[in-house]
Structure 1
Amino acid sequence: MKRILFTLLIVAPFCLAAQTTTKTESFTVNGKVKSPVTITLADVKKLKAYNLGDVVITNHLGEVKSTAKNLSGVLLKDVLKDIALDTDQPKLYSEYYFVCRGNDGYKVVYSWNELFNTPIGNSVYLLTEKNQETIQQMKESILMLSSQDERTGRRYLKNLEAITVRRAE
């Protein structure tokens, strides 16, 4: 029993520290782009914001986990539209995809076609307001949400730190 208690006292602080993430103030877009870019909160705030209302966050089974209220956000495709891919051949855009990574290591993937060539692209947001808190006030920012997903929690990303553009091989 003493051994278990000792182990918990020694290991628990490290486990808790590993789960702690810091709020992000910017993120980079890198990878298969002509020039890497850093996007700041100020850059995000310059884009057109949309009112999303309330969005129910569900897990992989479709079970309700929470409701994000009073949401506003900018479209991810508006953030990415001026980023030049490393090709001059538009027919190759279909081979590109975006790996969005939070600072806790969680990753979400969108294809170029999904964002720029389907209705889903009109529902993938970087949140600028949640629960009447601005992006600067939110505990976890930069938040990303695909509001039309059936299981919204799967692509609900907290503390976005990088979007890496890749090309399918």
Structure 2
Amino acid sequence: MDSVNVITAPAVDGALVLSGRFQRPLSLSLEALRRYDSVTATAFDLRCYTTNRFIRSVDAYRGVRLTTLIAEAGLPNEVPGEFKRTVFIARGQDGYVVTFSWHELFNTPIGENVLIAYECGGCMLDAEDGAPILFSGSDLLPAPRHVKRLARIEARVLS
């Protein structure tokens, strides 16, 4: 069976599921995310991508790198180099979707600053605050890849 387009069960508040082409799919609570080594991003202004309109200032996020979670879930490599054709689709509970490629995350500095945040400004976040939050700290404008209530990261291998 081709697992490239696997669709998983509905999201649960505060939980993050890694599904699709992973060796070990994961389901992580906010508490589980907090047990990983963490990094802190720089505070930033959230601005609209199309108009550059100021939305709000966001204090420094703290969280786990997306690459750490992907490494734990593992990528298949039955065909040598297959993992390098993987794209990651991040979905919020509201249906908002953003993407990353394997090369972007593991072969550029961008990957060092893509976080799954569970803290902001030194305060723990919960599901009511929008946690977990995906944040791409190296993007020129952070709003397009700022996903509150992150529900799922799907891995798909391009043919």
Query: Could you say which TM-score interval applies, normalised by the shorter chain?
Result: 0.7 to 0.9
For 1:79, give the aligned amino acid: L
Query: 1:70-119, CA deviations, whole angstroms, 9 ceiling, x for partnerless residues?
Result: 32222111121121223334512221011010000000101111111110
Alignment partner of 1:84 is 2:71: no
Q: Is the 8 A contact 1:142 1:159 kept in 2?
A: yes
Q: What runs of 5+ residues in structure 2 fail to find an aligned partner?
A: 1-10
Alignment partner of 1:122 is 2:112: yes
Aligned to 2:3: none
Aligned to 2:46: 57
Q: Which structure dedicates a bigger proportion of its chain to helix?
A: 1
Deviates more, 1:55-64 or 1:159-168: 55-64
Larger radius of gyration: 1
**Runs of 4+ deviating beyond 6 Å:** none
**Structure 1: how far apart are the matches of 2:99 and 2:139?**
13
Q: Is the 8 A contact 2:15 2:151 kept in 1?
A: yes
Aligned to 1:44: 33
Alignment partner of 1:135 is 2:144: no
**Structure 1: how far apart are the matches of 2:49 and 2:127?**
29
Aligned to 1:10: none
Deviates more, 1:141-150 or 1:89-98: 89-98
Flag the 1:137–1:102 CA change in 2: closer, same or farther, 3 A.
closer
**Structure 2: how far apart are the matches of 1:86 and 1:71?**
31
Q: Is the 8 A contact 2:127 2:149 kept in 1?
A: no
Q: What runs of 5+ residues in structure 1 fail to find an aligned partner?
A: 1-21
What percent identity do the matched residue pairs reach?
23
For 1:87, give the aligned amino acid: N
**Structure 2: how far apart are the matches of 1:140 and 1:30?**
21
Q: Is the 8 A contact 2:46 2:54 kept in 1?
A: yes
**Structure 1: how far apart are the matches of 2:24 and 2:41?**
32
Alignment partner of 1:144 is 2:134: yes
Aligned pairs (5 A) from 1:16-27: 24-27=13-16
**Structure 1: how far apart are the matches of 2:86 and 2:57?**
32
Query: 1:4-29, CA deviations, whole angstroms, 9 ceiling, x for partnerless residues?
Result: xxxxxxxxxxxxxxxxxx98321111
Deviates more, 1:72-81 or 1:98-107: 72-81
Aligned residue pairs: how many? 148
Q: Secondary structure at the match of 1:82?
A: helix
Q: Secondary structure at the match of 1:48?
A: coil
**Structure 1: how far apart are the matches of 2:75 and 2:41?**
29
